[in-house]
Structure 1
Amino acid sequence: MSTTAQVLGVADIVNGMTPRLTPEVANYPNLDLTVHLFRLPRDAWIGFDTEVSIGADGIGLTRAALHDADGPIGASAQTLTVRLRDE
């Protein structure tokens, strides 16, 4: 598997890295994943600078700046559907 493919696989977990609500309170699966890379990653190690926003209607967005040891490599975005759990 290429380094780029490995990075894309890791980028899919960004949604769960910085939850605004704990899994005990809500489920928040991502509906999609968009990744833009402006250079190839040096290796499979990747860091995230993540921001999560959730609207009152249960729709949210996880955005992240992606970087490797050499600096920025791109960005990702995931649309979320936030559903409160039954008590």
Structure 2
Amino acid sequence: MGFCNSCGRPIVKEDYGTNKDGSLNDEFCCDCYQNGEYTEPDITLEEMIVRKTKEMMAKNDRLPETHATAITATFIPGLKRWNPEFQDDYKTL
């Protein structure tokens, strides 16, 4: 099992996104990447952090927002989508 390099969720083959040619892309989940493009190309890093923080808190109502935010704000910026060195790698898939 890996993690989506856009949103950070754990993914297995059934969750993989797809490239332009229809092949599976094991770097991104199907919610974030389809047909060789991000499903939300204009979402910002900050918006993704807020979204994932809310999702974490919804799954665990005892998780303090500050703790959830610390986790997502540390983890998500390290994913390939948010790293400028990797962003162009997926434009040709």
Q: Report the TM-score range of the alignment, normalised by the length of the smaller protein.
A: under 0.3
Q: TM-score normalised to the size of structure 2? A: 0.24
Higher relative contact order (CA 8 A, sep 6+): 1
Q: Point out the structure with the larger strand share.
A: 1
Q: Point out the structure with the larger helix share.
A: 2
Q: TM-score normalised to the size of structure 1? A: 0.25
